[in-house]
Amino acid sequence: MAQTRETGLPKGFRGAEQGWPELDRIPHPPRRLPLLGDVIGVDRHRPLQDSMRFGRELGPIFRRRAFGNEFVFVWGSRLVADLADEARFAKHVGLGVANLRPVAGDGLFTAYNHEPNWQLAHDVLAPGFSREAMEGYHGMMLEVAERLTGHWDRELAAGRTVDVPGDMTRLTLETIARTGFGHGFGSFERDRPHPFVTAMVGTLTYAQRLNSVPTPLAPLLLRGAARRNEADIARLNRTVDDVVAARRRSGGGDGDLLDRMLETAHPRTGERLSAENVRKQVITFLVAGHETTSGALSFALYYLARHPDVAARARAEVDRIWGDTPRPGYDQVAKLRYVRRVLDESLRLWPTAPAYAREARHDTVLAGEHPMRRGAWTLVLLPLLHRDPQVWGADAERFDPDRFDAKAVRSRPAHTFKPFGTGARACIGRQFALHEATLVLGLLLRRYELRPDPDYRLRVTERLTVMPEGLRLGLERRTAPATTAATPAGDGSLTIG
Ligand code: MNH
């Protein structure tokens, strides 16, 4: 099937009309405008949250029409579980993901299933995400986290609150850049974001905007934005080319992701990544490897600040397992079970990559009810899957990390918690993100009490990923009174400077 160049979507197959023979049975919002579609009351900048609102009204499968294109959304747990069947369904590169093709090309995240560079890069890079590899990254992750606490100590000393999403983005970008590519962006030494970050945010925002304008008019409406987008992409390419050139000059690093990309041959075929593909992979990992983790940390800190009881329990765990060791080791991070649950529960309510798309490999019937033709696709709406009352109960909106204790997890059906996607194209960086985020939450909980602004109301911004907007927290440094500093570990009162 021919594919349009800009979007990568199959020509004449943008909407759901041809792929879903019984589309009529799928509910849509009641007040539909001719030509424009379901646009009444929607917020162009918050398509995800609009879809969540529609989904709550319309049920586990529904459709939205925008500018002549019809999209099917799914969030009911039974339907999502069926979509996880890899024999009948696969990742669909569409909408937001397809809009990133000009930036990330056939890099891992945006590659079509049939593109040979996907399997090649997957096989070459997978060992870079093994447990041993994580142990290797741990020291650098810790170093970057210490830059964060240094920065927060200075903000605290100056009597300022901290910019949570801004600082988490600094942290996660530095972490992936240094551990993966031996390159620092100096994020904590700058007042304004590194130009690479500005360019990256620009391309993500642009990719999201492309979805909210009528396709035939996009070139006209977005002419200025398209030109800026070209400049942003050029900036990303330039930055990456510099990093690669520096590595080639230095003659190799310590076996990080960049070394793998440049030097490792495929274990069976002996093939290597081309220079052009390396560029796409580096951009892919710098973008995919920090934006979502930054959001996950930001939401977790939001919930920790709002739930002092949860924070106290998590802090007690950190004190118990880490004691007063200044630099916790890899295993000591892996042992922070409750902190991990806080993270999981945050990713349940706000999965920071909030949707993924699945397409039918051949004609099939979704969950025995909805016929789909080969190539037909649908978007899995994670925040609603993660709040399906049939799975999570009537209080699904409540933040409660105990939903992730081992027994509760075992009692739930498969495919009900999917923040990292599903199947062969699921997130390769999952362990990386979880280790990094758990380590950082542990360090922050051990060092500070979090003081929320009582007037702050959660607002979620969307640019393909989600982030708590304008979240600032007050801090207090925990200090151990001399008498309690030596109490036996386990009672939660031990405090480390
Ligand atoms: Mn990540 C794919 C979520 C952290 C690199 N990631 C995905 C997908 C989801 C996802 C969902 C599947 C998308 C789809 O089906 O279209 N990722 C996350 C979340 C976090 C995250 C919620 C943090 C929290 N991801 C990371 C990190 C890295 C990374 C960290 C790199 C170090 N992710 C990727 C790559 C892919 C991906 C690369 C594409 C994998 C593939 O298709 O082979």
The pLDDT of 85-107, averaged and rounded, is: 92
Ligand 1 mutation target, pool 130, 134, 427, most atoms within 8 A of CB: 427
Which residue's alpha carbon is nearest to atom 30 within ligand 1?
A: 289
354 lines ligand 1 (CB under 6 A): no
The pLDDT of 421-425, averaged and rounded, is: 98
Ranges of each domain in the chain: 16-477
| pLDDT band at residue 96 under the 50/70/90 scheme | confident
Q: Is the pLDDT assigned to residue 61 strictly greater than 80?
A: yes
The pLDDT tens digits for 289-326 are: 899 999 999 999 999 999 999 999 999 999 999 999 98
Token pair of 171 as six digits: 């942290």
Q: Is the pLDDT assigned to residue 9 strictly greater than 70?
A: no
Report the CATH architecture of 16-477. Orthogonal Bundle (1.10)
Which residue's alpha carbon is nearest to atom 9 within ligand 1?
A: 420
356 lines ligand 1 (CB under 6 A): yes
Which residue's alpha carbon is nearest to atom 24 within ligand 1?
A: 293
Q: Is the pLDDT assigned to residue 483 strictly greater than 70?
A: no
Which residue's alpha carbon is nearest to atom 16 within ligand 1?
A: 356
Count the neighbouring beta carbons within 10 Å of the beta carbon of residue 226: 17
In ligand 1, the atom with minimum distance to the C-alpha of 109 is: 39
Give the phi and the psi of residue 345 in degrees, each rounded to 5: -65, -35
> Which secondary-structure segment (H or E) carries 359?
strand 355-360
> Which secondary-structure segment (H or E) carries 371?
strand 370-372
Q: How far is the CA of 123 from the centre of ligand 1 (A)?
A: 16
In ligand 1, the atom with minimum distance to the C-alpha of 257 is: 32
Q: Which residues pair with 451 in a beta bridge?
A: 474
239 lines ligand 1 (CB under 6 A): no
Which residue's alpha carbon is nearest to atom 21 within ligand 1?
A: 292
Distance CA 262, CA 248 (A): 9
> Which secondary-structure segment (H or E) carries 196?
helix 195-209
- CA 111-115-120 angle, 5° bins: 90
> Which secondary-structure segment (H or E) carries 257?
helix 257-263
In ligand 1, the atom with minimum distance to the C-alpha of 418 is: 11
Q: How far is the CA of 160 from the centre of ligand 1 (A)?
A: 34
User: What is the per-residue pLDDT for 252?
Assistant: 79
> Which secondary-structure segment (H or E) carries 295?
helix 291-306
Q: Which residues are catalytic?
A: 292, 420, 427
Q: Is the pLDDT assigned to residue 260 strictly greater than 60?
A: yes
Place of tokens 């079970």: 337
CB 387 within 8 A of CB 397: yes
Q: How far is the CA of 354 from the centre of ligand 1 (A)?
A: 11
Q: Is the pLDDT assigned to residue 185 strictly greater than 60?
A: yes
Token pair of 354 as six digits: 């909030």
In ligand 1, the atom with minimum distance to the C-alpha of 352 is: 22
pLDDT > 90: percent of the chain: 76
Distance CA 57, CA 51 (A): 10
pTM for this model (two decimals): 0.92
User: What is the per-residue pLDDT for 455?
Assistant: 95
122 lines ligand 1 (CB under 6 A): yes
pLDDT > 70: percent of the chain: 91
In ligand 1, the atom with minimum distance to the C-alpha of 91 is: 15
Least confident range from 16-30, 303-317, 350-364, 417-431: namely 16-30
Amino acid letter for position 370: H
109 lines ligand 1 (CB under 6 A): yes
Q: How far is the CA of 171 from the centre of ligand 1 (A)?
A: 18
CB 495 within 8 A of CB 479: yes
Q: How far is the CA of 284 from the centre of ligand 1 (A)?
A: 10
Which residue's alpha carbon is nearest to atom 42 within ligand 1?
A: 425
425 lines ligand 1 (CB under 6 A): yes
User: What is the per-residue pLDDT for 426?
Assistant: 98
409 vs 209, which has greater pLDDT?
A: 409
Distance CA 353, CA 465 (A): 5
Q: Is the pLDDT assigned to residue 221 strictly greater than 90?
A: no
| pLDDT band at residue 494 under the 50/70/90 scheme | very low
Q: How far is the CA of 289 from the centre of ligand 1 (A)?
A: 7
- CA 457-459-463 angle, 5° bins: 165
The pLDDT of 333-347, averaged and rounded, is: 98
